[in-house]
Amino acid sequence: MIAHREPSLREVDPALFDLIQHEDQRQRDSLRLIASENYASLAVLAATGSSLTNKYAEGYPGRRYYEGMDYIDPVEELAIARARQLFSAEHANVQPYSGSPANLAALLALCQPGDTIMGLSLPAGGHLTHGWKVSATGIYYNAVQYGVRRSDHRIDMDELRELALKHRPRLIWCGHSAYPRELDFPAFAAIAREVGAYLAADIAHIAGLIAGGAHPSPVPHADVVTTTTHKTLRGPRGGLILCKESHAKAIDKAVFPGLQGGPHNHSTAAKAVAFHEALQPSFRDYAHAIVANARALAAALIERDHVLVTGGTDNHIVLLDLTRLGIGGRRAAHALNLCGIELNANTIPFDPRKPFDPSGLRIGLAAITSRGLQPEHMPAVARLLDDALQVAARVGDGEPDSAVTSPLRGRVRELLSPFPAPGL
């Protein structure tokens, strides 16, 4: 019998193989500072690319609509058990495709269309799915937005309470997309109890910090907790919902059949791997190292006369105000990318510029911490950022010349060369 050898990706689709190889190299050579990104481990990547992608599995373990669940059910049960252990949660649903569907599921489970909900406004650092007007959560629900103080750009809990007493929401979101400070979950919970609202905590950005004990957990205080599984948690692209047992049936029904069909079993397996990695003692060191790096970078940027929203950070995010430099975030981010520094433009509180070209840059420290950089390396990172921003300020709306950007790319590669990129 002649053995059959399947052709490799390189042989089947050399064009795509080449693009992936280039992306691998870009991730090795770039100073990756996008707050919603990280490096997944080789084990997580292996699970994501496994044969589990071949299997359909509508329903839940023991209650499927398909046969052949001999190993799919144990995979999902393992992911559920690890998620519950990691976050000390009563119930976990590991099926959401990402964070946005997880948030929609929380609303579908706990609210009716037209109900009033509250969330941190997008310009103040909130997320689209917390009721912003262009999102389904702002279209199908009566969304009231709370904000931050002008004086220090921190969440105004007094305003939040006043709005909650006035509007009596069915649900209050706490969580963010670009807020560099610790969230006071007990204070949110007290306001929610006072007005008879559910509390939903979106921890997509800080889940890894919570899992590693570097940020307080909302699980004891919130009815529902949603998150992505990438970002600081360092898993695959996917979502997760944690909740109290009293909401378990409603949450599960909202995910399936409410919003989704069959779960992505390869992603479920990769989530299980990521939860296992996060349960190891070394992950606590990693989570605390992220915060230490963020604070060190913030201090180094301030030393170079840069202005930071809230004046610093308590988590993995540093939000840089570019107003002093006279450039927009969009052009600055583009220029920095040409210099090998990857981040994103971001609105700052009370931003005078339009959202498509805001006044800020959002910097995240999770990915370079995964590579092993420490606080002593942050002055060098700040120097690279400062030098690249000076280039962006000089060219304005123009394109930086490669004679200027190439040396900066070389300095970035030199800084990163002792620190291999995980998974690659």
Which of the following is catalytic: 28, 37, 55, 58?
Answer: 58
Which of the following is catalytic: 116, 228, 310, 347?
Answer: 228
Please list the residues that pair with 243 across neighbouring strands.
91, 224
Tokens 């992220």 sit on residue? 290
Which of the following is catalytic: 32, 181, 231, 331?
Answer: 231
Q: Is 228 a catalytic residue?
A: yes
| Cis before 257 (ω within 30) | yes
Q: Is 271 a catalytic residue?
A: no
Q: Is 323 a catalytic residue?
A: no
HSE-up (13 A, CA, CB side) for residue 24: 12
CB-CB neighbours of 71 under 10 Å: 12
Phi-psi region of 168 (alpha: psi -120 to 50; beta: other; left: phi over 0): left
Q: Is 170 a catalytic residue?
A: no
Which of the following is catalytic: 55, 56, 115, 383?
Answer: 56
3-state secondary structure 274-321: HHHHHCCHHHHHHHHHHHHHHHHHHHHHHHCCCEEHHHCCCCCEEEEE
Could you give phi then psi for residue 198, rounded to 5 degrees? -75, 150
Q: Which helix (H) or strand (E) holds 271?
A: helix 265-278
Q: Is 330 a catalytic residue?
A: no
Which of the following is catalytic: 137, 146, 181, 202?
Answer: 202
Q: Is 231 a catalytic residue?
A: yes
Kindly give the residue spans of alpha helices, DSSP state H, lying in 171-254: 185-195, 207-211, 248-253
In 9-21, which positions are buried (b, 16+ CB within 10 angstroms) versus exposed (e)?
A: eeeeeeeeeeeee
CA dihedral 392, 398, 404, 410 (to 10 degrees): 70
Q: How far is CA 225 from CA 111, 164, 217, 313, in A?
A: 15, 20, 10, 23
Which of the following is catalytic: 84, 154, 237, 244?
Answer: 237
Output DSSP code: residue 50. S
Q: Give 399: exposed, middle or buried? Use CB within 10 Å, 0-12, 13-18, 19+.
A: exposed
Which residues have a catalytic role annotated?
Answer: 56, 58, 202, 228, 231, 237
